[in-house]
Every structure is written in C-alpha cells, then in structure tokens.
C-alpha cells in the first residue's frame, strides 16, 4: 500500500536547511494565500488591483492585477498611472523592481485607506503579511 500523499514535501521550504526559517516561510505563505482569498469579496467584480506580485494576487483574488507605477516615476506620472486601479495589495518586502516594502503605500499618502491587514499572528505588533488598500478618489 502506498503512503498517503504529503504535499508539503513538494514545496521549496521543505528543502531549506534552516528549519526555523522554512517554518516561518510556510506560515507566511499560508497566511498570505488565506488573506488574498478572504479579501476577494471586498473588491468589486471587474475591479483591478495593483501589486508588486500581480500574478499571485490574480491567482488568489480572481481579479486582474497589475504592477503599480515604478518607484522612480515623478509625482505626475505616478498620479496618472495609479488611476488605472482602485485597489492595492501591499506586500511587506521589496523586489528588484520595487525596492520599497509595502509599495506604493508611501506614495499614496492620505489617499490610502487600509481595508484589511493580515499579520503573521494575531498580535498587533506581529509582522505584516499583506494589506488590502483602497485608493481614495481625488
């Protein structure tokens, strides 16, 4: 008889030598996916979402997702580009293309209305997993 399938042995973290770090990464990914699925209902059908990881957001929120205007864009180009979508899913890390954590939250300023935030655990000071933000109209 075959052993039951254990999907956890197929994820990248399974092969990480640092077990504590691998465990944190698994928790992070689990909470991120859960939050993306939970917040899908808060985004109107047909609306789009900015994210530095648009494929992940599109997959789990079933909404079109696009990268936000680049970090180096001047304020005019940023303001024009950000009008494309009314929502942002901000992630707490940077990438080669977006070197600012939670981008573009800092550029939105008072236009950013945080709708929902997921943390690594239920304490208020736990690290952020992701935040759904609505961009207030001008």
Q: Per residue in 56-107, pLDDT tens?
A: 999 999 999 999 999 999 999 999 999 999 999 999 999 899 999 999 999 9
pTM for the predicted model, two decimal places: 0.86
User: Where are the chain's structural domains?
Assistant: 16-135
Give the C-alpha distances (Å, rounded to integers) separating 112 from 29, 30, 93, 131, 134. 25, 26, 18, 11, 6
Residues 53/88, Cβ–Cβ less than 8 Å = no
What pLDDT score was predicted for residue 12?
63
Task: Write the CA distances from 71 to 98, 104, 127, integer angstroms.
Answer: 6, 8, 23
Hey, is 68 helix, strand or coil? coil
Q: Which residue has the tokens 């293309």?
A: 97
* Mean pLDDT across 20-30: 85
CA distance 61 to 33: 9
Provide the 8-state DSSP code for 101. T
Confidence of residue 15 (pLDDT cuts 50, 70, 90): low
- C-alpha dihedral, 4 to 33 to 46 to 101, nearest 10°: -150
Structurally, what CATH architecture does the domain formed by 16-135 represent?
3-Layer(aba) Sandwich (3.40)
Query: What is the rounded distance in angstroms from the CA atom of residue 38 to the CA atom of residue 60?
Result: 9
């Amino acid at each position: 008889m075959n052993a039951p399938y254990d999907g956890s042995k197929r994820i990248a973290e399974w092969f990480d030598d640092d077990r504590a770090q691998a465990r944190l990464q698994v928790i992070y990914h689990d909470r991120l996916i859960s939050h993306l699925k939970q917040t899908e209902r808060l985004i109107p059908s047909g609306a789009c979402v900015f994210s530095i990881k648009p494929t992940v957001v599109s997959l789990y929120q079933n909404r079109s997702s696009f990268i936000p205007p680049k970090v180096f864009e001047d304020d005019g180009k940023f303001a024009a580009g950000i009008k494309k979508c009314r929502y942002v899913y901000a992630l707490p890390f940077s990438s080669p293309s977006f070197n600012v954590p939670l981008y573009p939250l800092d550029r939105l300023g008072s236009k950013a209305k945080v709708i929902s935030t997921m943390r690594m655990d239920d304490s208020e000071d736990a690290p952020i997993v992701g935040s759904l933000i609505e961009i207030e109209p001008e």
